[in-house]
């Protein structure tokens, strides 16, 4: 009542309130109109760009989920059947991800060999990116200077002829070990699948960081745990993740894959740090051992020598080293 009475005594207050309200409404309408106009312009621009770059044909799918409900579990059969309908190159919407499927050998050759620089970048899954220190390994680093440097390190320093010669004895020891295992179990049932997996893991460990006495205690204490963690990492990297096709769901981590990958990455971080510290603390002893073994080196030693190297063309960072060893 006092406010109404005040307006009766001072009517100009009522006029001021009306003017203020009109100004606020006008400002709101202008802002809303600007937002709608911007959205309309972006939509038109996007559709125009889409018309300029036509996509290959493909099944329509459903809104939001795309063709996901129709894929089934046997992609080896589904994808060739779609190729019969839409041709050797077709598009497929998987949730919010647009995929282009190529099934012709000639097109595959053109993509991976003749135009590899154009198609060199890989769309890393959430699990792959988290397990490779943000995509710092050769598989997921964007094509450019850093990728070319990592490729040179991998091709020349790790799997080049000279490097493979340095790790020959490491591989030979594992071959001898597995042959003795088979001979010892002669006449008994043998799971050759499990035997081959064990041989592969042991050879990989030996070539990566098992070639020196320094740090061997770290590897020995963690070897059984490493096998389990590595098996879990391999499983998670190959598991379908709904967050990969619906990126806006990544923050919720519905399947818990992100949490599991973080735990594995933390384990590897601790393991690699202990291994690297042990190797760095005995650098002189390692050099003497190399001289005595004809220059035998594992990959960890090769990569450690590239950190901080004056030649920037082959120098790598610690994160890149860990990403290479981890993935």
- The ranges of the chain with pLDDT < 50 are 1-10, 12-14, 16, 50, 213
- Position 192 scores a pLDDT of 84
pTM over 0.85? The answer is no
Residues 6 or more apart whose CB falls under 8 angstroms from that of 156 comprise: 163, 314
Q: Calculate ∠ Cα 136-139-141, nearest 5°.
A: 40
CB atoms within 10 A of CB 286: 21
3 state DSSP class of 66: strand
- Position 130 scores a pLDDT of 93
In angstroms, the CA 275 to CA 253 distance is 31
- Position 14 scores a pLDDT of 46
Residues 6 or more apart whose CB falls under 8 angstroms from that of 196 comprise: none
Radius of gyration of the chain (CA): 30
Q: Which two tokens stand for residue 162?
A: 């000279």
- Position 20 scores a pLDDT of 57
CA distances from 141 to 145, 146, 198, 235 (A): 10, 7, 30, 22
- With CA atoms as reference, report the closest residue to 210 among 159, 163, 174: 174
Q: Quickly list DSSP for 258-278.
A: HHHHHHHHHHHHHHHHHHHHH
- Position 53 scores a pLDDT of 65
């Amino acid at each position: 009542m006092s406010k109404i009475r005040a307006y009766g005594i001072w009517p100009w207050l009522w006029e001021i309130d009306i003017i203020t309200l009109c100004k606020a409404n006008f400002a709101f309408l202008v802002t809303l109109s600007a937002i709608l106009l911007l959205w309309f312009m972006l939509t038109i621009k996007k559709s125009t760009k889409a018309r300029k770059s036509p996509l290959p044909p493909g099944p329509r799918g459903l809104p939001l989920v795309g063709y996901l409900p129709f894929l089934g579990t046997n992609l080896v059969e589904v994808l060739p059947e779609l190729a019969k309908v839409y041709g050797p190159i077709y598009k497929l919407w998987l949730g919010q991800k647009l995929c282009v499927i190529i099934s012709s050998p000639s097109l595959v050759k053109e993509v991976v060999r003749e135009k590899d620089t154009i198609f060199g970048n890989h769309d890393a899954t959430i699990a792959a990116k988290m397990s490779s220190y943000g995509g710092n390994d050769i598989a997921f680093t964007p094509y450019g200077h850093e990728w070319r440097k990592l490729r040179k390190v991998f091709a020349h320093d790790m799997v080049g002829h000279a490097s493979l010669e340095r790790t020959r004895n490491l591989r030979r020891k594992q071959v001898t070990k597995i042959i003795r295992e088979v001979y010892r179990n002669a006449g008994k049932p043998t799971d050759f699948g499990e035997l081959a997996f064990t041989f592969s893991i042991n050879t990989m460990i030996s070539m990566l960081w098992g070639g020196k006495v320094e740090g061997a205690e770290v590897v020995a204490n963690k070897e059984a745990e490493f096998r389990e963690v590595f098996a879990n990492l391999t499983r998670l990297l190959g598991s379908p993740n709904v967050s990969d096709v619906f990126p806006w769901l990544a923050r919720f981590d519905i399947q818990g894959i992100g949490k599991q990958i973080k735990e594995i990455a933390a384990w590897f971080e601790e393991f690699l740090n202990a291994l690297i510290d042990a190797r760095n603390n005995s650098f002189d002893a390692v050099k003497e051992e190399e001289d005595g073994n004809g220059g035998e080196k594992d990959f960890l030693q090769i990569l450690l020598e590239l950190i901080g190297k004056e030649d920037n063309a082959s120098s790598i960072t610690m994160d890149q080293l860990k990403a290479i060893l981890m993935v």
